[in-house]
Structure 1
Amino acid sequence: MYTIQLLASSFFFFAQDAGADSTKSSFQTLLIIPIMLVAMYFLVILPNKKEDKKRKEMIANLQKGDTVVTNSGLHGKIVEFKDNNETVVISISANTNVTFETSAIQKKK
């Protein structure tokens, strides 16, 4: 709650100060854009890159017999790999096998 009040008061300070000098306000506006882009990179893009890298490593290390969960929420055990490890056959029941792309695997249990 305190941080919201602090942000609101600093915003109003900049808004009041903007009317005083037009060159100063345009400089502040131009300064805010790169700061927002840097913040976006560290808060959104970098964590997504790390998550993607971790998921690709997990997919590369899959082996027969691993229990996995697909993007659709299907749980099963890997039976075999096909097409140069691009597709995987998953056993979801005693006599039921389903073929998925390896990219459809969400996590390994």
Structure 2
Amino acid sequence: MLISTAYAMGASGGQAGQAQGIAGFLPIIILFAIFYFLLIRPQQKKAKEHREMIENLKKGNRVVTSGGIFGTIVSLDDNTVGLEIAEKVKIKVARGNIGGLMKDNESQAKSKE
């Protein structure tokens, strides 16, 4: 009697087994959604903003490199940027190494010091 009851439960549980399989993937799907909205999407947005900033560089802009060097753009090529970091001191850096643009009030504060 006990064995036949077990078979009966196993036979009718086919539909429930498929529902449990889908429900088993639900936590994985939720984790992927969390990772996408908290990690992947903001990183892609920041990379896009950086790429746009690099494309819009102009002579005379005050910039800071990813290595922390402050300078003014004096020349632009496809792959490099010429920076004047001090009076008559010029260096070339790769465009991708430009970390960001200096705001006007930050550059004025630096020039006053």
TM-score when normalising by structure 2: 0.69
SS in 1 for 2:37: helix
Correspondence for 1:95: 88
Aligned-residue offset at 1:29: 4.0
SS in 1 for 2:74: strand
1:6-30 deviation line (CA, Å, top 9, x unaligned): xxxxxxxxxxxxxxxx998765542
Q: Which runs of at least 4 in structure 1 moved beyond 3 Å after TM superposition?
A: 22-29
Aligned-residue offset at 1:48: 0.7
Task: Tell me which amino acid in the other structure corresponds to 1:47.
Answer: P
Cα RMSD, aligned residues only: 1.8
Which residue of 66, 70, 87 corresponds with 2:65? Answer: 70
Distance 2:66 2:24 in 1: 42
Alignment map for 1:1-109 (pairs within 5 Å): 28-82=23-77, 85-109=78-102
TM-score when normalising by structure 1: 0.71
Distance 2:32 2:61 in 1: 41
Task: Tell me which amino acid in the other structure corresponds to 1:63.
Answer: K
SS in 2 for 1:53: helix
Task: Tell me which amino acid in the other structure corresponds to 1:64.
Answer: K
1:30-82 deviation line (CA, Å, top 9, x unaligned): 21011100110011010011111111111111100000000001000001012
Distance 1:23 1:58 in 2: 50
Which ranges in structure 2 are unaligned for 5 or more consecutive residues? 1-16, 103-113
